[in-house]
Amino acid sequence: MAITAETRQDIMELAVAANNAAPGTTLLSELVAMSTSGSSLLDIANHLADSASFKATYPTFQTAAEFGAEFLANLIPEASDAARAEGVAIIEGLLAAGNSRGVIILEAATFLAALDEADASFGSSAALFNNRVEVATYHTIESEAADSWSIPTSVTSDDASVATAKSAVDSALDTTPVVGSQTFSLTTSVDNLTGGSAADTFNATQTSGGQQTLNTLDAIDGGDGADTLNVSLKADVTPSSISSIETINVDATAAANFSLTNATGVERVNISGVTGGAFNLKGVSKSVAVAVADTDQAHTITYNDVTGSLILQLLPLRTRPVVLSSKCPELRF
């Protein structure tokens, strides 16, 4: 006999009441098999109460009062002390009458699931329980996660907490491997490189034979993270695309024009150790910080987003560093 949605919902409520956790498909399948084989909800509740996970939380050596206090502290933490004390007294009475802990689980789940969330004494507890069940349903039934998953304490009687918990479920089930920082090396051929979510480094240094590796057809996408491009030039270049590279470190061994016309996301350009001729940096946004150091060559920096045209010409610097910030358009030479 196939399980009905209503009975499966009852079983989910029992699992949440017992362990404050999404059961996972493994346990839920076991409980559903019991139901379809003729077991009652009380049988299933007793099965949960006899489980190792339940006994680990609620050891069998607890007194009725100890069990009731801990069970209700976990199940209805938003209830008042007086309301929980009332509940503990009910649990003590049920256990004293010879009822099992499974009866307590079943009675608690049935009570909270049916209660009006506007109830003065236990309404917020009913809302909390319903939200926990919704999160557990998302984890086990909708996402089909195999293992049980403890419902985080961030789930409250506030309905908005459900969306946050569902995102936590998605994160917990995300099997995408976490990729750390990566290092990429450009070649003399056409390169099309994309970084990951960490702080990646792209090296476009010259080859051992002195060939430039950053070329006109190269495309570099840093992806997420604070990424760095290290460049060594010996000739003019306007890469076809540079995106999401926050820092560019560049040197040159000959006169060179370096154009960032096709670059987006650059926050800083460090020019250092230029030799062999004048260096021209072009297509720079005024929001980009530019630093020049360790060189005796003339440098020209052309900004592309100021009124009119702004060209900064720096005389040979030798070892004096010059830092140009977003205020460069206001400078006068």
Helix extents (H) in 115-181 = 123-137, 160-173
**pTM for the predicted model, two decimal places:** 0.60
Instruction: Supply the range of the domain harboring residue 239.
Output: 183-330
Of the residues 129, 155, 173, which one is the last residue of a structural domain?
173
Query: Is the distance from CB of 322 to CB of 291 less than 8 angstroms?
Result: yes
Name the 3-class secondary structure at 283: strand
Q: How would residue 312 be classed by pLDDT, with cut points 50, 70 and 90?
A: low
With CA atoms as reference, report the closest residue to 69 among 93, 99, 89. 89
Q: Does residue 33 belong to any structural domain of this protein?
A: yes
Contacts of 165 (CB under 8 A, 6+ apart): 131, 135, 138, 151, 152, 154, 155
Q: Does residue 263 belong to any structural domain of this protein?
A: yes
- DSSP run (H or E) holding 16: helix 5-19
Of the residues 153, 173, 193, which one is the last residue of a structural domain?
173
Q: Does residue 178 belong to any structural domain of this protein?
A: no
Mean pLDDT, residues 237-251 taken together: 97
218 CA to centre of own chain:
31
Whether residue 249 is predicted with pLDDT greater than 90 in this model: the reply is yes
Name the 3-class secondary structure at 63: coil
Whether residue 170 is predicted with pLDDT greater than 80 in this model: the reply is yes
Instruction: Tell me: do 196 and 168 sit in the same domain.
Output: no
Determine the pLDDT at residue 19: 96
Task: Please give the mean pLDDT across all residues of the chain.
Answer: 91
pLDDT tens digits for 70-117?
999 999 999 999 999 999 999 999 999 999 999 999 999 999 999 999
Determine the pLDDT at residue 113: 96
Whether residue 307 is predicted with pLDDT greater than 80 in this model: the reply is no
Of the residues 116, 145, 173, which one is the last residue of a structural domain?
173
Determine the pLDDT at residue 302: 87
Count of domains in the chain?
A: 2
Instruction: Tell me: do 86 and 205 sit in the same domain.
Output: no
Whether residue 176 is predicted with pLDDT greater than 90 in this model: the reply is no
Query: Is the distance from CB of 230 to CB of 208 less than 8 angstroms?
Result: no
Instruction: Tell me: do 54 and 166 sit in the same domain.
Output: yes
Instruction: Tell me: do 159 and 249 sit in the same domain.
Output: no
Instruction: Tell me: do 191 and 128 sit in the same domain.
Output: no
pLDDT tens digits for 107-151?
999 999 999 999 998 999 999 999 999 999 999 999 999 999 999
